[in-house]
């Protein structure tokens, strides 16, 4: 296993099959130590903070103050995109703009800020999720969170993956910060250490 091999497994997979492809090629989250970015760099450290921008109605239900699990399904396909600690203002504002200026109207709600170690702590004993440093257009501080494939039949895999997604949602819920405009959210992210 090498950084090049990990990067190749990621890049050669169909976009909606990246998470299962890298898990199949390098199980047990072995590629986390490497950056999958074209320019190389370091893998994501345990102490690094990650931020998931939340919009309504796609990511967050403002009526019930609940993170929606539908978009968390990306963990098991293309990966769930998050901002990596150290991102500059342009990367953060650009991400917010992309999410709020999408084809369907979305309202900025805030973000979830979590340490990478929290993602990696989910295990039984095999790890549930991995955090990979990845490319996303011009962003150089980007991470994709990917779910690992549980053992079992297709129906068992679906059931276990769903339960894991809900467990992650519940853990993330304790780390939501609310900020309805980009400057306010940027200030909150900076204050938190992103």
117-131 pLDDT tens trace: 999 999 999 999 999
Residue 187 has pLDDT above 70, yes or no: yes
Q: Residue 163: what pLDDT?
A: 97
Average pLDDT over every residue of 6-23: 94
Mean of the per-residue pLDDT values of the chain: 94
Q: How confident is the model at residue 112 (pLDDT cuts 50, 70, 90)?
A: very high
Q: Residue 2: what pLDDT?
A: 84
Domain boundaries, the chain: 3-192
Q: What percent of the chain has pLDDT over 90?
A: 88
Lowest mean pLDDT among 1-5, 12-16, 120-124, 154-158: 1-5
- CA distance linking residue 187 with residue 96, whole number of Å: 13
- CA distance linking residue 45 with residue 117, whole number of Å: 8
Average pLDDT over every residue of 21-40: 92
- CA distance linking residue 50 with residue 192, whole number of Å: 10
Q: Residue 4: what pLDDT?
A: 84
Residue 97, token pair as written in the block? 């703009």
**Radius of gyration (C-alpha) of the chain in whole angstroms:** 16
Q: How confident is the model at residue 1 (pLDDT cuts 50, 70, 90)?
A: low
The DSSP letter of residue 151 is S
- CA distance linking residue 117 with residue 128, whole number of Å: 12
**DSSP conformation letters of 1-43:** --HHHHHHHHHHS-GGGHHHHHHHHSTTTGGGGBB-STT--BP
Residue 41 has pLDDT above 90, yes or no: no
- CA distance linking residue 67 with residue 84, whole number of Å: 20
Q: How confident is the model at residue 162 (pLDDT cuts 50, 70, 90)?
A: very high
> What phi and psi values does residue 45 have, to the nearest 5 degrees?
-80, 155
Q: Residue 38: what pLDDT?
A: 84
């Amino acid at each position: 296993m090498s950084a090049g091999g990990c990067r190749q497994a990621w890049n050669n997979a169909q976009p909606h099959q990246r998470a299962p492809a890298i898990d199949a090629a390098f199980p047990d989250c072995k590629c986390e130590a490497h950056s999958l970015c074209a320019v190389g760099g370091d893998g994501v450290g345990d102490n690094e903070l990650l931020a998931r921008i939340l919009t309504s109605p796609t990511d967050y239900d403002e009526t019930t103050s609940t993170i929606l699990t539908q978009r968390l399904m990306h963990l098991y396909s293309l990966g769930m995109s998050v901002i990596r600690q150290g991102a500059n203002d342009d990367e953060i504002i650009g991400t917010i703009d992309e999410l709020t200026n999408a084809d369907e109207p979305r309202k900025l709600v805030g973000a979830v800020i979590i340490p990478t170690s929290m993602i990696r702590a989910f295990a039984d004993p095999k790890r549930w999720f991995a955090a990979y440093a990845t490319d996303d257009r011009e962003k150089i501080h980007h991470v994709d969170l990917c779910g690992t494939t549980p053992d079992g039949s297709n129906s068992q895999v679906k059931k276990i993956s769903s339960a894991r997604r809900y467990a992650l949602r519940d853990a993330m819920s304790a780390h939501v910060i609310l900020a309805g405009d980009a400057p306010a959210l940027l200030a909150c992210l900076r204050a938190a250490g992103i």
